Structure 1
Amino acid sequence: MTSSLPATRDLAGWLAYIEALHPASIAMGLERVELVRQRLGLQPQFPIVIVAGTNGKGSTCAMLESIYQAAGYKTGCYTSPHFVRYNERVRLGGVEVEDAVLVEAFEAIEQARGETALTYFEFGTLAAVWSMVAANVDIAILEVGLGGRLDAVNVFSPVCSIVTSIDLDHMDFLGNDRECIGREKAGVFRPGIPAICGDDHPPLSLSSYANDSGADLRLIGHAFSFKRQASGWLYQSPDHEYALPWPALAGEFQLNNAACVINAVDALLVTLPVTLEHMQQGLQRVALSGRFQICRHQPQVVLDVAHNPHAAGALASNLAQYPVAGRTLAVFSMLGDKDIAGVVQAVAPHIDVWHIARVTHGRGAGVEQLHEYVKAQATDAYVVMHADVKAAYQQACNEAGENDRIIVFGSFFTVADIMRELDMAACEKIATH
């Protein structure tokens, strides 16, 4: 039903309003958002790439955005969640959208929706694409929030779809195994368009969905591949071979994401011409917050949003690949509905001291619960409980020597709490070589 308009018509007022608009924070289905999209007359004429997957979505979106910017295109990029400011979710030409643009978009959506209740994410998705239309972008990159088939971004028609990886997460909504989850993520595929998958061992359900829908399925290791080289890596497909630099994002696993990106760029060359130099520049310039992001030295402070076992495995790989002379201290908190045991198990061998706390979110796991999981997986670990994440971080800083490392991880909310404490302008990304 319709509600009274926000008390203040600024961005903060609108965000509070749309957050309270729908009784559920997540409501799967496309009918409501599609109805409002039609009422808005929101029919983008620019090419759209949809990016789904359990992990790697943000990295993939960032690399696509960086390459197309290097080629001189005006990009629109929509990702979620945000860390500190809602505006982080929408970038136009690589710059966060202004408050006034979002407010105008929210007002247009509110007028169009009538009595149709939209979730926070649905409202935001429509606002993001509305902003991109208003900005007349050349290409839009839309990150799926959850799943794919029933996610709000899927009301828009892509010219290319990417599924980065398939693992166990959001099982309450997507199913209890990789086959169920793979089918949901494959829902972003469309007949006759490139359907790219960067998972080394994709579930059969993804291939079956792609084949049944008539999509142009492109699996890594089959339709395209990559080879590591001393000075970078080599992208290979039946049509092209490119010598490329390591992406400026930490972790060898990023090559799977990068290969998907290059395959997508390759597929769209007729519509959006890009040179090898643009690809090289884009990969070298890409930056992404909260993914093994180094924000301080002596001691080193690293932020990583790893919040499921697959992402935690990647974090563990990076901790091993980039060792420090001293100890590694963790500032750790997670949501209670995540696989806490799996995350702790993946990272525990690389951590000497754990500082744990409840994250400032309604779904946050209790500190006693976190303590039980950590002690179960790392019986000899030194674990300290704190009132909140900020206190945990401050204590870790007090204890850490100049040769030590502090890794803040477990949730977007955990990282966001510490981002507010740091001078983020001084943060730097670590580049792989």
Structure 2
Amino acid sequence: MSSPTTLADWLAHCERLHPSTIDLTLDRVQAVATRLKLRFDCPVVTVAGTNGKGSTCAMLEAIALQAGYRTGVYTSPHLVHFQERCRIRGEVVSAEALLPHFEAVEVAREGQGLTYFEFTTLAILRLLSQAALDLVVLEVGLGGRLDAVNVIDADCAVITSIDLDHMDYLGPDRESIGREKAGIMRAGRPVVVSDPMPPRSVLEHAQALGADLHLSGRDFRYSGDRQQWNWSGRHRRYNALAYPALRGANQLLNASGVLAAFETLHERLPLNAQAVRNGLAMVELPGRFQIIPGQPTLVLDVAHNPHAVATLAENLDQMGFFPRTHAVFGAMADKDVNAILLRMHPLIDAWYFTDLPTGRALPGTDLKRRWEALPARPGGAAASASCHPSPLDALHAALGAADPTDRILVFGSFFTVGGVLQDGLPRLAARHLG
């Protein structure tokens, strides 16, 4: 077989290397990272949690950019293109920029099997380590303790909300899952917990490790009204802040944790209040309660577990009145689909269940069958459902059936939202407006 020459070639190579898509252990990754001599000369913030990780990473990046710092960010998964997983100085890296780092990992692994996630994570970490940056932000893919990102010792760990997800890998309850997330902490270094009610396992691990624990409600807190909000930490205070540009009920929780993280790094990365204000005002994150202008109103959200879907439902309730709400929905087989459907059931008048381009997804017909088993909607209002081969096909069907005053929600897996974004936002918006 010829050597890979394009990013697509390398990604296909990575998919063939290991029989499992997930194989939680750090041994393989650590060995290859050591041979790569991975190290960072700037502060590194690692972000773990069930929900809010992407928003937290985006706000850390936006504020640091406004302060004039050179940033590097690694997040996963991507919505449309693999390159979205890595941003340098606010820009998505090019496919070509990644190639030498894939080649370096291939040499350094010395025949060692790596999963797709492990291989690609190491390649992106190497790129970031050589990019002359002032701040690197790393989002944990799954869990924390045994995630490939955790081969890097973070200068500050951030743990966002913790809830039930990936229970086959992380454990059956919040205490077990919290213990896995807490694995990103380092002895003597700060850890910011933005979950207002963290599992005891997180607090106990921080104490046993001797980490510098910053707790929401104890070491930092926020308050606000409909117009503005205030934040105070151990040594800093910000007053009369505008709300983050990211929509949603939980964004102040995330923003509060972000400001606490910056407070822990203030000696190496000093901030002024204007950078905080500008960063929060300009932050962007596709697919997180993202509203695309036009008629009908179009909402995109990657909520794919019961906790995230409860927040989505709250956000939808706050949007005002729409005669009907249509929903394009696709999900992975390991998600608590019944709980998701039950929570959204009263809000949705027409479902468009979709297949997704991965063997890990539930077919649309299975989703429809589970929806049909739900109890009647409150008030006896009838709803409809149909199945479609792709998210874009499902969206076309919804656009064809919806009135201009209706609302269309596209939610669930990253594959669902990414499937309607595959032509890019401008083209989607143009088609939507047309």
TM over 0.5: yes
Q: Any idea what SS the aligned residue of 1:355 has?
A: strand
Q: How much does 1:422 deviate?
A: 5.2
Partner residue of 1:117 out of 104, 113, 138: 113
Mapped pair 1:10 → 2:14? no
Alignment-derived partner of residue 199 in structure 1: 195
Residue type at the aligned position of 1:276? A
Alignment-derived partner of residue 328 in structure 1: 325
Write out per-residue CA displacement over residues 59-84 of structure 1, whole angstroms, 9 at most, x where no aligned residue: 00000000000000010000000111
Write out per-residue CA displacement over residues 374-425 of structure 1, whole angstroms, 9 at most, x where no aligned residue: 2333534221222333222111000111111110011101111111255347
Alignment-derived partner of residue 53 in structure 1: 49
Percent identity, aligned pairs only, is 46
- Verify the 8 A CA contact 1:295 1:424 in the aligned structure 2: no
Distance in 1 (alpha carbons) for counterparts of 2:116 and 2:253: 31
- Verify the 8 A CA contact 2:390 2:419 in the aligned structure 1: no
Alignment-derived partner of residue 259 in structure 1: 256
Write out per-residue CA displacement over residues 210-235 of structure 1, whole angstroms, 9 at most, x where no aligned residue: 11111111111111111022321111
Alignment-derived partner of residue 389 in structure 1: 391
Partner residue of 2:302 out of 293, 300, 305: 305
Mapped pair 1:268 → 2:265? yes
Alignment-derived partner of residue 351 in structure 2: 354
Q: Any idea what SS the aligned residue of 2:45 has?
A: strand
Mapped pair 1:105 → 2:101? yes
- Count residues in correspondence: 424
Alignment-derived partner of residue 92 in structure 1: 88
Distance in 1 (alpha carbons) for counterparts of 2:100 and 2:375: 51
- Verify the 8 A CA contact 1:87 1:97 in the aligned structure 2: yes
Distance in 2 (alpha carbons) for counterparts of 1:43 and 1:127: 13
Write out per-residue CA displacement over residues 76-99 of structure 1, whole angstroms, 9 at most, x where no aligned residue: 000000111110000000111112
Distance in 2 (alpha carbons) for counterparts of 1:55 and 1:333: 18
Residue type at the aligned position of 1:10? T
Partner residue of 1:286 out of 283, 286, 296: 283
199-208 or 369-378, which moves further after superposition? 369-378
Structure 1 residue runs without a partner (length 5+): 429-433
Distance in 2 (alpha carbons) for counterparts of 1:111 and 1:410: 37
Distance in 1 (alpha carbons) for counterparts of 2:374 and 2:214: 38
Q: How much does 1:337 deviate?
A: 1.3
18-27 or 84-93, which moves further after superposition? 18-27
- Verify the 8 A CA contact 1:353 1:382 in the aligned structure 2: yes
Distance in 1 (alpha carbons) for counterparts of 2:185 and 2:429: 37
Mapped pair 1:337 → 2:339? no
Q: Any idea what SS the aligned residue of 1:135 has?
A: coil
Structure 2 residue runs without a partner (length 5+): 377-381
Q: Any idea what SS the aligned residue of 1:336 has?
A: coil
88-97 or 39-48, which moves further after superposition? 39-48
Alignment-derived partner of residue 379 in structure 2: none
- Verify the 8 A CA contact 1:291 1:305 in the aligned structure 2: yes
- Verify the 8 A CA contact 2:421 2:428 in the aligned structure 1: no
Mapped pair 1:185 → 2:212? no
381-390 or 277-286, which moves further after superposition? 381-390
Distance in 2 (alpha carbons) for counterparts of 1:189 and 1:5: 42
Partner residue of 2:137 out of 135, 141, 157: 141
- Verify the 8 A CA contact 1:348 1:378 in the aligned structure 2: no
Distance in 2 (alpha carbons) for counterparts of 1:138 and 1:198: 24
Distance in 2 (alpha carbons) for counterparts of 1:321 and 1:262: 26
Q: Any idea what SS the aligned residue of 1:140 has?
A: strand
Q: Any idea what SS the aligned residue of 1:200 has?
A: coil
Write out per-residue CA displacement over residues 134-187 of structure 1, whole angstroms, 9 at most, x where no aligned residue: 221111000000000000111101110001011110011100111100000000
Distance in 1 (alpha carbons) for counterparts of 2:375 and 2:76: 32
Query: What are the equivalent positions in structure 2 for 1:227-246 lying under 5 Å apart?
Result: 227-243=223-239, 244-246=241-243
Mapped pair 1:370 → 2:367? yes
TM-score by length of 2: 0.94
Q: Any idea what SS the aligned residue of 1:23 has?
A: coil
Distance in 1 (alpha carbons) for counterparts of 2:414 and 2:53: 14
Alignment-derived partner of residue 216 in structure 2: 220
Distance in 1 (alpha carbons) for counterparts of 2:63 and 2:233: 19
- Runs (4+) of structure 1 exceeding 3 A deviation are 421-428
- Verify the 8 A CA contact 2:47 2:160 in the aligned structure 1: yes
Q: How much does 1:190 deviate?
A: 0.8
Residue type at the aligned position of 2:418? A
- Verify the 8 A CA contact 1:315 1:347 in the aligned structure 2: no
- Verify the 8 A CA contact 1:324 1:405 in the aligned structure 2: no
Q: Any idea what SS the aligned residue of 2:281 has?
A: helix
Distance in 2 (alpha carbons) for counterparts of 1:5 and 1:233: 57
Mapped pair 1:406 → 2:402? no
Distance in 2 (alpha carbons) for counterparts of 1:425 and 1:133: 35
Alignment-derived partner of residue 425 in structure 2: 423
Q: Any idea what SS the aligned residue of 1:347 has?
A: helix
Mapped pair 1:176 → 2:178? no
Q: How much does 1:358 deviate?
A: 1.9
Q: How much does 1:46 deviate?
A: 1.3
- Verify the 8 A CA contact 2:244 2:251 in the aligned structure 1: yes
Residue type at the aligned position of 1:370? L
Q: Any idea what SS the aligned residue of 1:115 has?
A: coil
TM-score by length of 1: 0.95
RMSD over aligned CA atoms reads 1.6
Residue type at the aligned position of 1:86? F
Distance in 1 (alpha carbons) for counterparts of 2:394 and 2:227: 40
- Verify the 8 A CA contact 2:160 2:254 in the aligned structure 1: yes
Residue type at the aligned position of 1:251? G
Q: Any idea what SS the aligned residue of 1:377 has?
A: coil
Mapped pair 1:209 → 2:197? no
